[in-house]
Amino acid sequence: MRVESPNKPLTDDCAARAAVVGKLQNVRHVLCSPDGVLFCVRGGDLYRGPIPSNKDLDWFSMARRVGKDEWSGFKILFFHQDGELCATTNNGEFYKGPRPNNENVSWTNRQDTKKIGKSGWEQCDALFFAPDGDLYAVTKQDKIMKGKPPTTAQDCEEWLKTCTMVGGCGWLRLSHFMSFSPDGKLWSVDKQNGNLYSGIIPEDGRYLDNSQNLGSDYHQIPFLCFIKDKTIHNIIRFQFLPKEGKKGSENIEVIAEKIYTNTESSPVTYTFTFEKTLKVSSFFTDEHGFPLQLGAGITFKAGIPFFSQNKKSAEIKLGAAHNWSFTDSNETEVKFSSNSEVEVPPGKAIRVVASVVKTDLVVPYRAKVRTIFGSKIEMTGTWHGAAHYNLTVKQEK
CATH number for the domain harbouring residue 38 = 2.115.10.10
Q: What single letter denotes the amino acid at residue 31? A: L
Q: Cβ(62)–Cβ(294) under 8 Å?
A: yes
Residue 216 and residue 241 in one domain: no
Residue 125 and residue 154 in one domain: yes
Residue 268 and residue 341 in one domain: yes
Closest to 379 measured CA to CA, from 318, 292, 294: 292
Last residue of a domain, one of 198, 220, 242: 220
Last residue of a domain, one of 220, 250, 277: 220
Quick check: is 334 in a domain? yes
Does 293 score more than 80 pLDDT?
A: no
Average pLDDT over residues 356-364: 95
Does 295 score more than 70 pLDDT?
A: no
Does 247 score more than 70 pLDDT?
A: yes
Q: Cβ(184)–Cβ(198) under 8 Å?
A: no
Quick check: is 98 in a domain? yes
Alpha-carbon distances, residue 323 vs 238, 284, 292, 370 (angstroms): 12, 13, 18, 19
Quick check: is 227 in a domain? no
- E strands in 230-267: 232-240, 246-261
pLDDT at 165: 94
Sign of the C-alpha dihedral computed for residues 325, 326, 329 and 335 taken in this order:
positive
What is the spatial distance between Cα 264 and Cα 252, in angstroms, rounded to a whole number?
Answer: 34
Does 12 score more than 80 pLDDT?
A: no
What is the spatial distance between Cα 30 and Cα 52, in angstroms, rounded to a whole number?
Answer: 13
Does 138 score more than 70 pLDDT?
A: yes
Does 312 score more than 90 pLDDT?
A: no
Residue 313 and residue 335 in one domain: yes
For 64-115, how does the pLDDT look when each residue is reduced to its tens digit (9 = 90+)? 999 999 999 999 999 999 999 999 999 999 999 999 999 999 999 999 999 9
pLDDT bracket for residue 10 (50, 70, 90):
low
Quick check: is 328 in a domain? yes
Mean pLDDT rounded to a whole number for the chain: 91
Residue 165 and residue 241 in one domain: no
Quick check: is 158 in a domain? yes
Neighbours of 44 (CB within 10 A): 14
pLDDT at 232: 86
Does 182 score more than 90 pLDDT?
A: no
Say which residues have a Cβ less than 8 Å from residue 5's Cβ, sequence separation at least 6: 229, 373, 374, 375
Residue 129 and residue 270 in one domain: no
Quick check: is 347 in a domain? yes
Domain extent for 133? 2-220
Quick check: is 125 in a domain? yes
Alpha-carbon distances, residue 69 vs 45, 76, 224 (angstroms): 5, 16, 24
Burial 294-317 (b: 16+ CB within 10 A, else e): bebebebebebbbbeeeeeeeebb
pTM: 0.72
pLDDT at 314: 65
Q: Cβ(363)–Cβ(242) under 8 Å?
A: yes
Residue 203 and residue 312 in one domain: no
Average pLDDT over residues 355-368: 95
Does 17 score more than 90 pLDDT?
A: no
pLDDT at 9: 57
Residue 134 and residue 177 in one domain: yes
Last residue of a domain, one of 220, 241, 274: 220
Residue 208 and residue 249 in one domain: no
Does 207 score more than 60 pLDDT?
A: yes
Residue 216 and residue 253 in one domain: no
Q: What CATH code is carried by the domain that includes residue 356?
A: 2.170.15.10
Instruction: Report how many domains make up the chain.
Output: 2
Does 61 score more than 70 pLDDT?
A: yes
Residue 18 and residue 164 in one domain: yes
Quick check: is 90 in a domain? yes
Residue 150 and residue 294 in one domain: no
Q: Cβ(230)–Cβ(353) under 8 Å?
A: no
